[in-house]
Amino acid sequence: MKTTDSKSNASLSPSSSSEPIGWATLEEYIRLQVQDQVQALLEAEVEEHLGRGRYERRGGQPAGYRNGMGRPRKLSLATGTIEVQRPRLRELEEKFTSSVLPLFKRQSEKVRHLLPTLYLEGLALRDFDRALRALLGDGAALSPSTISRLTEQWQAEFDAWRKRPIEDEVVYVWADGIYVKAGLEKDKSAVLVVIGLTRAGEKQVLAIEEGYRESTESWKSLLWSLMKRGMNVPRLVVADGGLGLWAALRELGWECKEQRCWNHKLCNVRDALPLREQKRAMKELRRIPQAKTRAEAERLRDDFLEAFKDYPKACQRLSDDWERMVSFYAFPREHWRSLRTTNPVESPFQLVRLRTGAARRFKRTDHAVAILWKLLMIAEGTFKTYDSVHLLTDVAAGTEFADGLPLKAPQSHVA
């Protein structure tokens, strides 16, 4: 596409000002240069479509001719907000669609992606107008209502995402729920989230659905939807102590190991102790999941039960559901750090909680879920590749481990 100088946009772009260019005026100079170039691209695009210059006669060229200029339109770019005019055409044989500036576009893709990123970082809706005008200029065609309009778009994208097939083999799954203020109900709504680790070592958000207080039926519905989308039964599911998920796994017949989060367990035990004992107790409790063998972990558990036998409630909380507390010992030692807790799902949740904490009550729960999905998609882009990926292949192949070590050499490693 050839470019031409834009004469029609001189009133919009005073880049020919005699004011000297210096540090104080550099950004404004660059913005106006970009404005001139975008206007020139629009002109060149029209010339290419018509097959002739602005003042050339039609001759044997295709039908169609210019019909003035459209109204000035503000366009928000990363370099600031510019103002351009789309050339208007009439009597064309086929409809002309600009690839430079499509209809109804008011911001570039980079700026469009900036909005959910700012939202993710905790910028309240009421602060959007002020913040974006500071970044993009007073003429930015943006306002707090932009997020409201984007929500509808995110809802459509989310509906398509939740139906996509799951083709990668999933080895580990972390599941958790987050509560948000949404709808007309006084209580918060539960949003259930599942993150999986594939055989290739990639961490992916697999599902996010509205649930009823993390009930068995809610988890069962979510897991069933994953199965319908083609997901295999993982080798291990990591979650907190909620009974709904574990019951759902049994009802669906998922033959996988189950690991409860040690962070949640330690907090539950600590809360059953008086304040004067909590510091000493936590020092002993943290040693248990760090033990190198299951036998050592059980010895440390028994030592704690003896040392704090005067607090039966705390001792009972530590002993409850013990088998689910030590499932990670049946997997590679290199993976223990991420298998002992729900941190892989809690970390992106911290970003989501930052957002939901700053927000007022969402009017509709489905809108809240769509926004949380968008935030988690952004967070997914920050997920790091899993360590010791080759061991995921062994786990997926059914290699058995005891205290983090393989009971026999996996077939893939035999010469």
| Residue of higher predicted confidence among 23 and 328 | 328
**Do residues 52 and 120 both lie within one domain?**
no
Position 406 in a domain: no
Sign of CA dihedral 170, 229, 116, 367: negative
Q: Distance of CA 310 to CAs 231, 285, 321, 322, Å?
A: 47, 16, 21, 20
* pLDDT band per the 50, 70, 90 thresholds, residue 5: very low
- Give the Cα separation of 343 and 204 in Å (integer): 14
pLDDT recorded at residue 373: 81
C-alpha angle with apex 200: 157 to 172, nearest 5 degrees? 80
Do 210 and 293 have their domain in common?
yes
pLDDT digits (tens, 9 = 90+) for 100-154: 777 657 667 666 666 656 554 554 555 555 555 555 555 555 555 655 666 677 7
Question: The whole model's pTM is what?
Answer: 0.67
264 confidence band (pLDDT: 50, 70, 90): very high
CA angle 387–389–393, rounded 5-degree value = 150
Q: Which of 102, 119, 137 is the last residue of a domain?
A: 102
In a domain, 412, yes or no: no
- The amino acid at residue 16 is S
Q: Are residues 154 and 174 in the same domain?
A: no
197 and 75 housed in the same domain: no
Give the pLDDT confidence of 303-349 residue by residue, as tens digits. Answer: 999 999 999 999 999 999 999 999 999 999 999 999 999 888 777 66
What is the Cβ-side half-sphere exposure of residue 109, based on CA atoms within 13 angstroms? 3
Same domain, 194 and 339: yes
Same domain as 176, residue 48: no
202-258, pLDDT tens digit by residue? 999 999 988 776 789 999 999 999 999 999 999 999 998 777 899 999 999 999 999
Q: Any idea which residue has 């690839």 for tokens?
A: 99
Q: DSSP letter at 202?
A: -
Q: Do residues 216 and 272 both lie within one domain?
A: yes
Q: Note the pLDDT tens digit of each residue in 359-385.
A: 444 556 676 677 778 778 877 877 777
Q: Calculate the alpha carbon distances from 187 to 179, 184, 260, 412 in Å.
A: 9, 9, 26, 52
Q: Which residues span the domain enclosing 150? A: 109-160
Quote the CA–CA distance of 156 and 328 in Å, as a whole number: 38
Q: How many domains does the chain have?
A: 3
Let me know whether 356 and 320 are in one domain: yes
Q: What does the pLDDT look like over 378-409, one tens digit per residue?
A: 778 777 777 788 999 999 999 999 999 998 75
Taking only the tens place, the pLDDT of each residue in 149-204 is 666 777 788 889 999 999 999 999 999 887 776 555 555 667 899 999 999 999 99
Is 344 among the domain residues? yes
Closest CA to 89 of 117, 121, 123, 62: 62
Indicate the helix (H) or strand (E) that contains 173: strand 170-180
> For the residues 292-310, what does the mean pLDDT come to?
97
**What integer pLDDT is reported at residue 78 of this predicted model?**
63
User: Do the beta carbons of residue 252 and residue 223 sit within 8 Å?
Assistant: yes
Residue 413 lies in a domain: no
Cα 4 from Cα 388, distance rounded (Å): 56
- Decide if pLDDT at 44 tops 50: yes
